[in-house]
Structure 1
Amino acid sequence: MSMRHSVVLDDRRCRGCTSCIKCCPTEAIRVRGRKATILPDRCIDCGNCIRVCPHKAIKSVGDALERLKEFSYCVALPEPALYTQFQHLDDVDIVLNGLLKIGFHKVWEVARAAELISAFEHECVLRRGRPAVTPQISSSCPTVMRLIRMRFPKLIDHVACTILPMELAAILARREAEAETGLAPEQIGVFAIVPCSSKVTAARVSQGLREPVLDGAFAVRDVYLRLLTPMRELERVEPHSTAGALGLSWAACGGESAARASEGCVAVDGIENVIRMLEEIEDGRLPEADFLELSACTQGCVGGCFNVENPYAAKMRLRGLMKGLPETRSSFTLQGPAQEIVRRDKQLQYLPAFLLDEDREAAMAKQLRIQALESHLPGLHCGSCGAPSCHAFAEDVVLGRASEDDCIFKVRARMRDMAGEGGADEYLPAPFRRQQPLHHD
């Protein structure tokens, strides 16, 4: 199934400033003709480009709330990060009651599904002991999973076998809704309320399930704006929440690790830090670790690009919400064969996004050409060519995505041949001209 990314570009806003090309961890962005373009095969929906674009030309598009009208019965799956967006909130039931006022018929907390996954993982450790392949890597961040499949295929076997909490919540919520209403599955709409772009993409195309189990995903910021008035106007707050502190803790980096209660857990947030940690694991430099919780967003899901609040303030609020809660508030557990719904039903596959050619000999020949061209480039990674690095530019030239003349230093060399030594420096941007002696009055 092809990827339908949620990250999109608005050409009308883009000025080709190249701010985005440097921040992409998979070098998936190029600037051509004063407009940025995304290489879809390389995009991991991390949202870094959304955060750094000064012109708001890059955005992530979730589903419109009007989609609720397509179904007879709608279930909301709020991620726990949603609760952290509201100032002075002391009861998550206020948010859940608000959701029932804006068009949803039922709420099923993703935090509750997170607790079930934590219980499943804990039972697996008790029953089977330390996994044969360690450290295990959390499967809760779709961006990290796609990054591993693309850049670290040797670590695919390290990824935990569990599906996303929002996917488990969708499966269980749909079953409950069918039993309660008697409606056919296609009449029931199950929508996640998510904090980041990667979860919108995951709702459309699952990495761990053969078929998607969600009907769509709404951005936290869109739902937040719709909730403000209904939450203020609530006359009575009905109890709907069944998740405890353990489930809510998954909203911040370290929550999933804490639920494991193991000394061998490592929690890492921020895509650059995640990449460094994966490089260390690939090199075998952390043999004592049992479990890695890797979050692409700063501070975890509370730092997602769909949120409206500062991630550090959101994490503070999360601690306040967890303070008065028991570890778990639900007695529901998955037993025996029912536990199998927690597992992926398809294997994670390597994504050959960096493959130069399907033919090995042709790929080797292209690699040699890339190395030869790169050796004649300045190595400044200035971005003037529209690529994030000299290596990426050399690759673009060999693959036919760019011309050597796109490099300003290559043009300078040709002009120098025509104009004589030093005569072409004036055509370079000031930072790249040869140093001139400073003149003092």
Structure 2
Amino acid sequence: MAMRHSVVLDVKRCRGCTTCIKCCPTEAIRVRGRRATILPDRCIDCGSCIRICPHKAIKSVGDSLDILNNYQYCVALPEPALYGQFHHLDSVDIVLSALLKIGFHKVYEVAKAAELISDYERQTITSGVSKATPQISSSCPTVLRLIRMRFPKLIGHVANTILPMELAAILARREAEQETGLPPEKIGVFAIVPCSSKVTAARSPEGLEHPVLDGAFAIRDIYLRLLTPMKELEEVLPLSEAGIMGIGWATCGGESAARLGQRCASVDGIQNVIQMLEGIEDGRLPEADFLELSACTQGCVGGCFNVENPYAAKLRLKGLMKGLPVSRNRFRLPEEERDVVCRDKELQYLPAFVLDQDRGVAFSKLLQIQELEEHLPGLHCGSCGAPSCRAFAEDVVLGRASEDDCIFKVRERMRSMTGSKAEADDYLPPPFRRRQEPDK
């Protein structure tokens, strides 16, 4: 079944400007007929195209709040990045109490689940369990999908834990069942997330056989709903159960800090993440035991669903963490339940770049791509609608484009027709025309 992505294209806004094709880390975007197209098999929902599109034609969508009506009891799982969106916020409890005023019956903090995962990892470290080093964090769905697609040799380095929001969903549903006596299908568990990749992960988890969430709402949508209830609260309930470690997971470096003393490196930004992964794949291992990789700038506070600048949000979170205990949660589940924090499905290579199911045919197409690429200019100008000459050659061989889509191929044809280099160059944009030497 095809993955349902949360990054979508608004065709009415798209002008075919090709700005987006250069920023995509997996070359998942093409422009044909003055309209962009997203190749679903290659999209990792990183949101890079959303940030760079000058016409706001690419956007990310979460679930509609109307789905709350489908359940008798609704549980909100707010990501800690939500807390950094509000000006002059004195306490996390204000946000959590307001969530109970907009249709939720219970709140379970994702930050609490993050602390449980952190403690589990610390226990695993002290137990001396051997792992491939450096170990790579499993907390960013975009990074997980990127590794599966572009760096399959590094799958063994990824931590075996599930996402904090997934653990929060499992534990919150258990609590809700005990408190209400309702069957699981009558209880709706919804994450409030900062980015498009977590919406996709809620629908199609990377490390779980079956989804544990019933939906995921964008922080920006919940933010608008919370503003009025937060001002009108008559009583602020003491609902927060997370400390500095859990809330710190919202920013790059927070997960690393929660590992207490282990040699850790934190990397944010999708291009920086790719450079780090390339280095590890090439054998240039960093001097670290653990890598925290975040696709968004400054971590989850930089997600495309947030409303505030990531640096401002990070500053506000630091203010909220003052006076809080370091951690409020310990991982103390019985031995038979400890696996709840681990994946029940192994990460596997995602064959997004398969040329053909038949190996012989695929090899033949590969040779055709290499031959065509050798005859292309190698300028990667993007005027053909592909991000690189290599990608264009692949599109031609796979039938997604024609050789005549390359303006340099058009120049060659015009040159053969007119016999004049100067006239042929007139068909090129000015940056690519040959320089005219002045008459002596």
Class of the TM-score when normalised by the shorter of the 2 chains: over 0.9
Shift of 1:364: 1.8
1:280 corresponds to 2:311: no
C-alpha spacing 1:29/1:53, structure 2 compared with 1 (3 Å): same
C-alpha spacing 1:344/1:372, structure 2 compared with 1 (3 Å): same
Shift of 1:205: 0.7
Q: 2:2 matched to which residue of 1?
A: 2
Q: 2:386 matched to which residue of 1?
A: 387
Shift of 1:425: 1.4
Deviations, residues 168-205 of structure 1 (Å, cap 9, x unaligned): 00000000000000111111000000000000000001
For 1:175, the aligned partner's letter is R
> For 2:214 and 2:438, how far apart are their aligned partners in 1?
65
Q: 1:236 matched to which residue of 2?
A: 235
Residues 336-415 of structure 1 aligned to structure 2 (within 5 Å): 336-415=335-414
Shift of 1:335: 3.5
Q: 1:43 matched to which residue of 2?
A: 43
Q: 2:98 matched to which residue of 1?
A: 98
> For 2:331 and 2:157, how far apart are their aligned partners in 1?
29
Shift of 1:132: 3.1
Shift of 1:283: 1.3
Deviations, residues 142-190 of structure 1 (Å, cap 9, x unaligned): 0000000000000011111001000000000000000000111111000
Q: 2:185 matched to which residue of 1?
A: 186
Structure 1: 5+ residue stretches without partners? none
Shift of 1:372: 0.9
Conserved 8 A contact 2:262-2:290: no
Shift of 1:367: 1.4
Q: 1:432 matched to which residue of 2?
A: 432
> For 1:132 and 1:167, how far apart are their aligned partners in 2?
23
Q: 1:52 matched to which residue of 2?
A: 52
> For 1:264 and 1:112, how far apart are their aligned partners in 2?
24
Q: 2:167 matched to which residue of 1?
A: 168
> For 1:435 and 1:176, how far apart are their aligned partners in 2?
72
Shift of 1:236: 1.6
> For 1:353 and 1:438, how far apart are their aligned partners in 2?
50
Counterpart secondary structure, 2:3: coil
Shift of 1:250: 0.4
Deviations, residues 77-129 of structure 1 (Å, cap 9, x unaligned): 00000000001112000000110010000000000000000011110111125
Q: 1:23 matched to which residue of 2?
A: 23
For 2:120, the aligned partner's letter is F
Conserved 8 A contact 2:116-2:329: no
How high is the TM-score relative to the length of structure 1?
0.97
Shift of 1:437: 5.1
> For 2:400 and 2:29, how far apart are their aligned partners in 1?
12
Counterpart secondary structure, 2:199: helix
Shift of 1:324: 1.7
Shift of 1:332: 6.6
Residues 55-94 of structure 1 aligned to structure 2 (within 5 Å): 55-94=55-94
Counterpart secondary structure, 1:156: helix
1:262 corresponds to 2:261: yes
Residues 111-122 of structure 1 aligned to structure 2 (within 5 Å): 111-122=111-122
Percent identity, aligned pairs only, is 76
For 2:432, the aligned partner's letter is F
Conserved 8 A contact 2:173-2:184: yes
Shift of 1:264: 1.9
Shift of 1:2: 3.0
1:33 corresponds to 2:51: no
Counterpart secondary structure, 1:423: helix
> For 2:360 and 2:271, how far apart are their aligned partners in 1?
33
For 1:56, the aligned partner's letter is K
> For 2:381 and 2:330, how far apart are their aligned partners in 1?
57
Conserved 8 A contact 1:116-1:334: no
Q: 2:156 matched to which residue of 1?
A: 157
Q: 2:252 matched to which residue of 1?
A: 253
Deviations, residues 44-102 of structure 1 (Å, cap 9, x unaligned): 00000011111111111111111111110000000000000001112000000110010
Q: 2:296 matched to which residue of 1?
A: 297
Shift of 1:328: 1.5
Deviations, residues 327-382 of structure 1 (Å, cap 9, x unaligned): 12246732322211000001111100012122222222211111111111111111
Shift of 1:138: 0.5
For 1:405, the aligned partner's letter is D
> For 2:418 and 2:432, how far apart are their aligned partners in 1?
18
Q: 1:12 matched to which residue of 2?
A: 12
For 1:316, the aligned partner's letter is L
Shift of 1:288: 3.4
Deviations, residues 239-288 of structure 1 (Å, cap 9, x unaligned): 00001010000000100011112342111000000000001111121163
> For 2:393 and 2:344, how far apart are their aligned partners in 1?
40
C-alpha spacing 1:87/1:287, structure 2 compared with 1 (3 Å): closer
Counterpart secondary structure, 1:363: helix
For 1:419, the aligned partner's letter is T
> For 1:334 and 1:298, how far apart are their aligned partners in 2?
34
> For 1:275 and 1:174, how far apart are their aligned partners in 2?
36
Q: 1:419 matched to which residue of 2?
A: 418
> For 1:265 and 1:438, how far apart are their aligned partners in 2?
60
For 1:292, the aligned partner's letter is L
How high is the TM-score relative to the length of structure 2?
0.97
> For 2:330 and 2:249, how far apart are their aligned partners in 1?
19
For 1:295, the aligned partner's letter is S
Counterpart secondary structure, 1:422: helix
For 1:48, the aligned partner's letter is S
> For 2:388 and 2:333, how far apart are their aligned partners in 1?
49
For 1:212, the aligned partner's letter is P
Conserved 8 A contact 2:131-2:157: no
> For 1:322 and 1:438, how far apart are their aligned partners in 2?
68
Conserved 8 A contact 2:116-2:330: no
Conserved 8 A contact 2:115-2:329: no
Q: 1:219 matched to which residue of 2?
A: 218
For 2:172, the aligned partner's letter is A
Shift of 1:290: 0.9
For 1:422, the aligned partner's letter is A
Shift of 1:438: 7.6
C-alpha spacing 1:331/1:372, structure 2 compared with 1 (3 Å): closer
